[in-house]
Chains A and B, each alone.
Chain A
């Protein structure tokens, strides 16, 4: 019954979505507002319908209805409730439904904004959002139905949603359980964040298309899109960083990023999305490069669809699995169609969106931001090419190849360096024009301070030239931002008599957006520090030692104390080693690398034991042990310098985005409250 409700509401939402698209376009073409209004109501209705559908799926999972194929594949009796809820996106059908539900939610919110000034955009925004929802719901309804059940027909088990003639519903006694790798806290929040980021980028795309279709070439669509894009970017960044953290904590290979196609598919929309946010800035400030944000949001939209398709399907692992799957070609056709249609639209409006401004200096802010965009695009093209090349190779030569980390890192390293160089100059550059001489004047003091970033590592015995350059750039970016902040604070102090705290908060208030940008960029630099640490200085060793024996790595010694093997109440068998971490002969920490074996899914997970400090991480993995005597165990040990800065950087970025999203000028708001509603800016 519940499965019928779930599928029924899914199907109705499909009909309503398709109706909404048609009504919106018909109403717009024939200037009949009532049809557009009806389409708006349709968009509002899709969300509760999909909520009912996904709610039914949650109910089925919580209720252990293993006659539903999807429930049996991702859940099991003993899984705790919170894991059962995350099991919704543990498989392909469920994650697609989750995706459509999120998009419907955003669509729902969009309909409630004030459309007075933007009536012309409304039908197109509805058509694009509902069209995208309809596409995913079609997939869910006809190809990846999460409500399909097991039936027994003539001694044979078949999977079908409808009751086959003579069939009896059957259910396995227990489900296979969620993939243990997905049972980590990072994995519980990571997919929703990733999907929120993916889905939130659909809204700016809808605005961009609306702007193209209506031919309205002012930057209204940018204004409307910007908050969505910023939040989408934040969610996508959070998704990436949580994914990285998950890899670091669960995959047990001492790293956080392996340039795997699935990781890349999440990175690509982030790269184009980041480029988009920067292009938006140039258009807002200088009214230049107006085609760029449109191109970038089209690319982002298509990469979002591509990423969704890639993340769960694993179809790009081989041309054959792609050809065999039913949804692969449909996805590809959808991407091709939207891509071609969007660019055809753009080309038809190209002249209209041409800017009249000119670039006057290579060191102006817009030129530097443009170079940043190009660097991001360079990384994007490389990543995309690396992801699809194994398939091209298989098609052409019949042989499969791996495009692994060395391929990407060759490009990523210099590009990160280039971005850091721009981050040195950009805070000092101004819009429209700046001379090299002027820049030089502002740069020399931070430059001298930045030399500390060279001297300290060399003094510490560092010899790798690229690493020294990287450290220097990091120090330079921090110094430039520090000096710039002090300079502005001083200027304000000179003109106004107030306390230092007031001045600092005043400086922030006055230019909240540029300061939140500084915070975000400092966060990126912290992340760069973590990346440099692990890329250049990671060391590892492996050894089999008996209890009481030691292994040494970097300045650390680990002593293997004991191994405990026990069963847990949630159906796990845990082998947990106790390790003493020593430095200079002193015990400084105790860590517990372990291996969890999940009985329900018959899979194991290696959880590292980590001692993490601002300077470095001491990361141990229990590789193997002698089960009977418990006297010897094999450990793999990594020394990961500075990696904690990666996570600190991520938190800093979140802070920056939150700052930028705070309501504008708080003092004005406070003032307006006392002055009444029409208080003006002082």
Chain B
């Protein structure tokens, strides 16, 4: 009986010791609730509402630390990433998002470069085609059975002439 009590108390003591030892480690490793990485994964997609152009995960100000705290709390409450983002947008406006949301006037930011790219591309290709068609030496265009020598001068010759000119210009 005595040995049994001894045994039980040993087990109890050991378990308590184990728990005591593990608690800080567990607290350090995990904290209670979402991990830092989970918080940062959401914070990364948001921008600090006070400092210009700094993602929330990298911002060192106290305000941002508190906002990361908000994200942590919301995650602990089971909110999804999108819900948290919506919450921040509702609180601080669209500027907390890394990109303007695709709605209303904001479409302009996405459409203008596309229009310029497509327009520029079309202009470039039609321009060059028209240009090529107006070129005098059409044989070149078809694949060139002739040796192509539109300038009658090789690059090296041109270079030498240029170098001579340069030399003279330098006096």
Within 8 A of A (CB), among B1-57: 24-25, 28-29, 31, 35-37, 40, 47, 52-55, 57
Within 8 A of A (CB), among B124-140: 124, 128, 131-132, 134-137, 140
Considering the chains assembled together, what is the distance between the CA atoms of A378 and B57 in angstroms? Answer: 31
**Which of A284, A359, A386, A404 has the most C-beta atoms of chain B within 10 angstroms of its own C-beta?**
A404
Q: Is B63 engaged at the interface, CB distance under 8 Å to the other chain? A: no
Q: Give the shortest distance, in Å, between B11 (CB) and chain A (any CB).
A: 27
Q: Which of A6-14, A149-157, A199-207, A391-399 contacts B (4 or more CB under 8 A)?
A: A391-399
Q: Is A411 engaged at the interface, CB distance under 8 Å to the other chain? A: yes
Q: What A residues does B31 contact at CB under 8 A?
A: 544
- Give how many B residues have a beta carbon under 8 Å from the other chain's beta carbons: 60
Considering the chains assembled together, what is the distance between the CA atoms of A634 and B60 in angstroms? Answer: 13
Contact yes or no, B29 A411, CB < 8 A: no
Considering the chains assembled together, what is the distance between the CA atoms of A499 and B98 in angstroms? Answer: 59
Q: Give the shortest distance, in Å, between A438 (CB) and chain B (any CB).
A: 9
Considering the chains assembled together, what is the distance between the CA atoms of A606 and B61 in angstroms? Answer: 12
Q: Is A311 engaged at the interface, CB distance under 8 Å to the other chain? A: no
Q: Is B120 engaged at the interface, CB distance under 8 Å to the other chain? A: yes
Task: With CB as the reference atom, state the residue of chain A lying closest to B147.
Answer: A433
Considering the chains assembled together, what is the distance between the CA atoms of A253 and B55 in angstroms? Answer: 9
Q: Give the shortest distance, in Å, between A458 (CB) and chain B (any CB).
A: 28
Q: Is A681 engaged at the interface, CB distance under 8 Å to the other chain? A: yes
Q: Give the shortest distance, in Å, between B48 (CB) and chain A (any CB).
A: 10
Interface of A is mostly: mixed
User: Given A360-B148, A431-B155, A433-B144, A402 and B28 touching (CB < 8 A)?
Assistant: no
Task: With CB as the reference atom, state the residue of chain A lying closest to B143.
Answer: A435
Q: What A residues does B73 contact at CB under 8 A?
A: none
Considering the chains assembled together, what is the distance between the CA atoms of A225 and B53 in angstroms? Answer: 37
Q: Which of A27-35, A516-524, A535-543 contacts B (4 or more CB under 8 A)?
A: A535-543
Q: What B residues does A367 contact at CB under 8 A?
A: 128
Contact yes or no, A385 B158, CB < 8 A: no
User: Given A114-B171, A260-B53, A435-B144, A401 and B28 touching (CB < 8 A)?
Assistant: no
Q: What B residues does A403 contact at CB under 8 A?
A: 99-100, 109
Task: With CB as the reference atom, state the residue of chain A lying closest to B125.
Answer: A362
User: Given A261-B53, A542-B36, A402 and B47 touching (CB < 8 A)?
Assistant: yes
Q: What A residues does B158 contact at CB under 8 A?
A: 285
Q: Give the shortest distance, in Å, between A243 (CB) and chain B (any CB).
A: 15
Contact yes or no, B150 A400, CB < 8 A: no
Contact yes or no, A404 B117, CB < 8 A: no
Q: What A residues does B170 contact at CB under 8 A?
A: 114
Contact yes or no, A359 B131, CB < 8 A: yes
User: Given A402-B98, A406-B99, A431-B155, A546 and B105 touching (CB < 8 A)?
Assistant: no
Binding site for B on A (CB under 8 A): 114, 116-117, 223, 251-254, 258, 260-261, 284-285, 314, 317, 357-362, 367, 374, 377-378, 381-382, 385-386, 389-390, 392-393, 396-397, 399-407, 411, 430-433, 435, 540-546, 549, 604, 606, 632, 634, 636, 664, 681
Binding site for A on B (CB under 8 A): 24-25, 28-29, 31, 35-37, 40, 47, 52-55, 57-58, 60, 93-100, 104-106, 108-109, 112-113, 116-117, 120, 124, 128, 131-132, 134-137, 140-141, 143-144, 148, 150-151, 155, 158, 160, 162-164, 166, 169-171
Complex A-B: 15 CB contacts under 8 Å: A116-B171, A117-B169, A284-B162, A314-B52, A359-B135, A377-B120, A378-B120, A389-B108, A404-B98, A407-B99, A540-B40, A543-B28, A543-B37, A544-B36, A634-B36
Give me 8 other A-B pairs in contact (C-beta within 8 A), A252-B58, A358-B132, A541-B36 excluded. Answer: A359-B135, A360-B132, A360-B137, A374-B120, A401-B94, A402-B94, A432-B151, A545-B28
